[in-house]
């Protein structure tokens, strides 16, 4: 059996690949700095480092929610609900107003996490229960979405949202327990 001996050419190819990756990371960092400077300047009182870190952590979480479950704008959520109206987003906004869906505000827009829909596009019934449980505990809609999307000791480090369709009772019980905990 012949083995492939590593050559200087192999090392050069690997080095170039890593150099290209680092160049992309560098370009992304420059673009981030270029965007953050004007954004921070636009804040009338300035942003503390703590506030900037907290905002970045929130944005990172929302990016993770989008990657794992999808974040739908109101029009896409309305279409998922089956609306064929000229303004399908109204169906999603109505479902949210009725406590059947939750949304995150990102900038000036609302986004609906995909985990709250069944395979046919209907809101999972447990969402209404969770909204009521969170509200009774003084938790915000955003707090509920963040809890559903974050790793949980109730589910061995898996986000509760992963169990919404298959075990809604367990998620509702975990939410009652988590939100009812007084420190």
What local confidence, expressed as pLDDT, does residue 30 receive? Answer: 75
Going across the sheet that includes 104-106, the strands are: 71-73, 109-113, 104-106
What local confidence, expressed as pLDDT, does residue 36 receive? Answer: 67
Sign of CA dihedral 7, 11, 17, 19: negative
Whole-structure pTM value = 0.74
| Burial class of residue 114 (count of CB atoms within 10 Å of its CB; 0-12, 13-18, 19+) | middle
Q: Helix or strand or coil: residue 106?
A: strand
What local confidence, expressed as pLDDT, does residue 86 receive? Answer: 87
What local confidence, expressed as pLDDT, does residue 12 receive? Answer: 76
What pLDDT, in 10s, does the model give residues 82-94?
988 889 999 999 9
What local confidence, expressed as pLDDT, does residue 44 receive? Answer: 63
What local confidence, expressed as pLDDT, does residue 57 receive? Answer: 87
What local confidence, expressed as pLDDT, does residue 29 receive? Answer: 75
Q: Mean pLDDT in runs of 10 for the chain (183 residues)?
A: 71 80 81 69 71 84 92 95 89 95 92 95 95 94 94 94 95 93 57
């Amino acid at each position: 059996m012949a083995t492939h001996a590593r050559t200087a050419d192999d090392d050069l190819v690997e080095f170039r690949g890593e150099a290209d990756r680092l160049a992309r990371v560098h370009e992304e960092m420059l673009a981030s700095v270029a965007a953050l400077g004007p954004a921070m300047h636009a804040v009338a009182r300035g942003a503390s480092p703590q506030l900037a870190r907290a905002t970045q952590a929130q944005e990172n979480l929302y990016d993770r929610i989008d990657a794992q479950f999808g974040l739908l704008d109101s029009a896409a959520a309305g279409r998922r609900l089956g609306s064929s109206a000229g303004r399908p987003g109204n169906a999603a906004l109505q479902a949210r107003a009725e406590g059947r869906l939750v949304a995150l505000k990102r900038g000036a827009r609302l986004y609906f996490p995909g985990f709250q829909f069944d395979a046919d596009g209907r809101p999972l019934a447990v969402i209404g229960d969770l909204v009521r449980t969170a509200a009774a505990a003084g938790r915000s809609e955003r707090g509920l979405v963040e809890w559903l999307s974050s790793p949980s000791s109730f589910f061995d480090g898996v986000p509760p949202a992963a169990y919404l369709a298959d075990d809604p009772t367990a998620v509702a019980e975990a939410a009652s327990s988590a939100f009812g905990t007084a420190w």
